[in-house]
Amino acid sequence: MYFPISWLVVATAVTLFLASSQALNIIVNNDDGFAAANIREFYRLLKAAGHNAWIVAPVVDNSGQGGRAVFTSSPVLTQPSQFGIIPAGAPSFGTDPIDSHIWYYNGTPAACTFFALDYVVPNFWNGTKVDLLVAGPNFGNNLGPFLYTLSGTQGATYAAVERDIPAIAFSAANSGLRSYKEINQTTPSGSPDPATIAAQLSVDLVNQLAKNTKGRERILPFGYGIDVNYPFITSLINQTCVSPPFIQTRMTGDGATVDYAAFNASTQLFTYRNITPRGVNTCINGDCSLPGETRIVNGGCQSSVTVFTIDYDAPTCRGSKHVRPLLRPLVKYARRPHRRTRSASRGEEEFLLD
């Protein structure tokens, strides 16, 4: 097979990089399923880069589940797994027949995150701690705040962040879920398959974090995660977009969309369509000078990297100062005292009421 020399250089640099930096213990999850092309390539390249990576992902496609943690009610699979790898009647959780570090679970992506943290890690990691959870790369982008709540890829990620585990969600514009057995070894452009490119880009970002946080206890602060989206990779056609640079972004703004219910008078059915209202494009918290991830990814061959936190309530900006008085006098305004009170020292937190 032939790949451009730049990809050979990248692969060599990755090997040299990990030899002199911190390898991470990584859970690899997604919502497309444990045998999807993107997650398997990501897993393969993480291991090739020297990381201790384990897949723990849904047994079948669980797209669009958001952060719902749904656990199976059956101890066995009632239908075959994705691509028929695991037969019906097999246990509802287990490992791939050819790799004991690839686990499946019959649950939603968030449930798989919890299954990984509360079953796989304590029983099979021999006391090793989790440094990072990564999800994806998803087949299809997850851009903006609306899809942050809707995406199973995102749900697996912020479930981990809420459990004190640094996490990154990766999504790619190339859609069309396919098996890892369908990854192209050669392409018309001479560049790798889009699944391989998205996986290598994701490994590059993980390696960057590992390099810059070497020796630290955590690679991200508590409550923080990262959302990454890739543009459409063109390697199956040409080399127009095979190496999209990373750009720091935010979720809101610049064309972020949300659904509306579109009625078809002929079929008498509703379906969703996208609109771009102000509610999902108003910058309230954070750095409003950053471009929105929707514009960056849809506007050309660029990848968006958005830092997010799960603490998105109680804003202190101008709008909040307008809203709070509207609740008075029915709702009191409580503030933590600057000094702990006597009862607080006994574990009973007290607040000052205005």
Catalytic residues: 171
Whether 275 and 146 have beta carbons less than 8 Å apart is answered as no
Crossing angle between the packed helical segments 194-212 and 37-48, to the nearest 10 degrees: 40
H or E element at residue 16: helix 5-19
Pick from 276, 272, 297, 160: which is nearest to 219 by CA?
A: 160
Which tokens in the block code for residue 172? 């790619």
- Backbone dihedral region of 89: left (phi > 0), alpha (psi from -120 to 50 degrees) or beta? left
**Cβ atoms within 10 Å of 83's Cβ, excluding its own:** 16
For residue 58, the one-letter residue type is P
Phi, psi of 307 (to 5 degrees): -85, 130
Closest CA to 209 of 112, 320, 133, 298: 133
Torsion angles phi and psi, residue 159, rounded to 5: -65, -40
Specify the DSSP class assigned to residue 327. G
Beta-strand runs (E) in the chain: 25-29, 52-58, 93-96, 99-105, 132-139, 167-172, 224-230, 246-249, 258-264, 269-275, 303-309, 334-335, 352-353
